[in-house]
């Protein structure tokens, strides 16, 4: 039987991206620095289910210039996480300066983006009653 | 605690993409046709671990024209699956016409692509002895 291991995304700022996923409740489980190849691989997972991971690839910028900017594509859609309380999660993200692109107006679904614009879907475990300020919060940009 | 649910990718040919993931050993676990929105969502997972899924979004082509072609981006990297025997998996894929972009020359790692060019990493559970024809098989394209 095959086994799902991880989804890999490329990141331009490792610390910023780790903080983003930590706001969602994920924890770092493994980190490998490759001096020769000049890249770092960092794996995060949800506590209690360390088998399904997100892998961050950080290519060290060239010593004489700036790093690559990672464009998005349409064939990849998003990563989805179930959360215990979508309002609390979105509030924690907002307080840390993360834009809620699609607020949880329905008490069930929200979309945000990582610092490199990877779309993240948040899904409430069950459904909460619609509540302000979320119920009347407009969308911001795309997701 | 949050919980990883799925990675969503957009597909231009649902049946072809389902066949691709079935060659890897995944099985369909859920399918929803949305007549009004003209899209289908299809979820696949590895047997024994149905919690970590890949979601295929198929937007029905407009009735008067052709569908969108889904471009790739650099911020998304790949999906990774562990397999029991990487040679058998790659042989099964090749026999079905799938290009092995990065053959498992080392008995450990291979890369292929879905019909919409989503990169898939295959990792051997443990490591096999290097073996022909894989050991001397060249790379094809990018992954």
> pTM for the complete prediction?
0.96
Asked if A76 lies within 8 A of B45 by C-beta distance, the reply is: no
B117 and B88: one domain? Answer: yes
Asked if A4 lies within 8 A of B77 by C-beta distance, the reply is: no
pLDDT for B68 equals 84
For residue range B18-62, list pLDDT tens digits in order. Answer: 999 999 999 999 999 999 999 999 999 999 999 999 999 999 998
C-alpha distance from B75 to closest chain A C-alpha (Å)? 5
pLDDT for A25 equals 97
pLDDT for A78 equals 98
CATH code for position B118: 3.30.720.110
Name the percent of chain B lying above pLDDT 90.
92
For residue range B65-94, list pLDDT tens digits in order. Answer: 777 889 999 999 999 999 999 999 999 999
**Do the domain assignments include residue B71?**
no
**Do the domain assignments include residue A70?**
no
In terms of pLDDT, which residue wins out, B126 or A81?
A81
**Tens of pLDDT along chain A (143 residues)?**
899 999 999 999 999 999 999 999 999 999 999 999 999 999 999 999 999 999 999 999 987 777 788 999 999 999 999 999 999 999 999 999 999 999 999 999 999 999 999 999 999 999 899 999 999 999 999 99
Average pLDDT rounded to a whole number, residues B132-142: 97
Residue B84 domain boundaries: 79-134
On whether any CB of chain A is under 8 Å from the CB of B80, the answer is: yes
A84 and A37: one domain? Answer: no
Q: The complex's ipTM?
A: 0.95
Asked if A1 lies within 8 A of B48 by C-beta distance, the reply is: yes
**Do the domain assignments include residue B65?**
no
A142 is annotated as an active-site residue: no
**Residue whose C-alpha is closest to residue B2's, from A30, A4, A124:** A124
Give the β-pairing of A76-83 and B3-10: antiparallel
B87 and B129: one domain? Answer: yes
For the beta carbon of residue B60, count every other beta carbon within 10 angstroms. 14
CATH code for position A54: 3.10.180.10
pLDDT of B128 > 90? The answer is: yes
**Mutate which of A77, A80, A89, A122 to disrupt the B interface (most B C-beta within 10 Å)?**
A77
**Do the domain assignments include residue B99?**
yes
C-alpha distance from A89 to closest chain B C-alpha (Å)? 10
**Cα separation of A121 and A18, whole Å?**
17
Q: Which residues of A touch B72 (CB under 8 A)?
A: 73, 75-76
Number of domains in chain A: 2
**Do the domain assignments include residue B67?**
no
A50 and A109: one domain? Answer: no
**Cα separation of A99 and A59, whole Å?**
25
**Residue whose C-alpha is closest to residue A71's, from A128, A116, A30:** A116
Dump the DSSP string for B17-80.
Answer: HHHHHHHHT-EEEEEEEETTTTEEEEEEEETTEEEEEEEEEEEPPPTTSPPPP----SSEEEEE
B21 and B55: one domain? Answer: yes
A-contacting residues of B 95-134, CB under 8 Å? 116-118, 121, 123, 125
> Could you say which of B3, B46, B75 has the minimum Cβ distance to residue A117?
B75
B85 and B124: one domain? Answer: yes
């Amino acid at each position: 039987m095959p086994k799902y291991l991880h989804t890999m995304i490329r990141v331009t700022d490792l610390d910023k991206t780790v903080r983003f996923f930590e706001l969602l409740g994920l924890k770092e489980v493994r980190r490998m620095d490759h001096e020769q190849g000049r890249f770092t691989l960092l794996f995060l997972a949800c506590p209690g289910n360390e088998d399904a991971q997100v892998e961050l690839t950080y290519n060290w910028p060239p010593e004489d210039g700036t790093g690559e900017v990672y464009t998005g594509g349409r064939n990849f859609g998003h990563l989805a996480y179930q959360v215990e309380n979508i309002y609390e999660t979105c509030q924690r993200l907002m307080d840390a300066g993360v834009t809620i692109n699609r607020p949880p107006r329905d008490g069930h679904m929200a979309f945000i983006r990582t610092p490199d614009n990877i779309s993240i879907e948040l899904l409430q475990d069950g459904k909460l009653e619609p509540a302000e300020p979320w119920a009347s919060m407009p969308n911001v940009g795309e997701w």
